């Protein structure tokens, strides 16, 4: 197996190929159904695919609206991957697992058939 094939295989299996800490921020607005769904989905993703290699901060913009400006949050819920760079943002309830994993750069997008 070539080196690039091995790297792709690792990404597809749910790891980014390193022990690098992934810093995540989830922006929500109170206890809305979408906010609660995003948090539940993110917790499941972190447990299954990041296994202790992440730091998660949940920011409630109802309580601290001024924090939205720093990461240029325009919609909620929004997940921001601060580290490793580049910064990535995913908007929505995070229910589309493949989209979230690709957005977090945890695996390659599926190739069209």
Q: Name the residue with tokens 């409630």.
A: 60
Asked if residue 6 has pLDDT above 50, the reply is no
Mean predicted confidence (pLDDT) in 104-109: 81
CA angle 25/101/34 to nearest 5° reads 55
* C-beta separation of 105 from 15 below 8 A: no
* C-beta separation of 22 from 71 below 8 A: no
Q: What pTM was computed for the model?
A: 0.79
What pLDDT, on a 0 to 100 scale, did the predictor assign at position 15?
Answer: 43
What pLDDT, on a 0 to 100 scale, did the predictor assign at position 18?
Answer: 60
Domains of the chain: residue spans and CATH:
20-103 (3.40.30.10)
Six token digits for residue 67: 């924090």
What pLDDT, on a 0 to 100 scale, did the predictor assign at position 30?
Answer: 95
What pLDDT, on a 0 to 100 scale, did the predictor assign at position 80?
Answer: 97
Q: How far apart are CA 50 and CA 106, in angstroms?
A: 9
Q: What is the pLDDT of residues 16-57, one digit of tens each?
A: 456 789 999 999 999 999 999 999 999 999 999 998 899 999
What pLDDT, on a 0 to 100 scale, did the predictor assign at position 113?
Answer: 61
Q: What is the pLDDT of residues 62-102, one digit of tens each?
A: 999 999 998 999 999 999 999 999 999 999 999 999 999 99
């Amino acid at each position: 197996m070539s080196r690039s094939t091995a790297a792709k295989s690792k990404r597809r299996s749910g790891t980014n190929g390193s022990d690098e800490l992934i810093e995540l921020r989830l922006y929500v607005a109170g206890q809305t159904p979408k906010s609660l769904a995003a948090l539940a989905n993110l917790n499941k993703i972190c447990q299954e695919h990041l296994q202790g290699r992440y730091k998660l901060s949940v920011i409630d913009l109802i309580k601290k609206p001024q924090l939205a400006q720093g990461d240029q949050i325009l919609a909620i819920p929004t997940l921001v991957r601060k580290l490793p760079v580049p910064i990535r943002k995913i908007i929505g309830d995070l229910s589309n697992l493949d989209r979230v994993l690709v957005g977090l750069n945890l695996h390659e997008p599926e190739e069209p058939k």
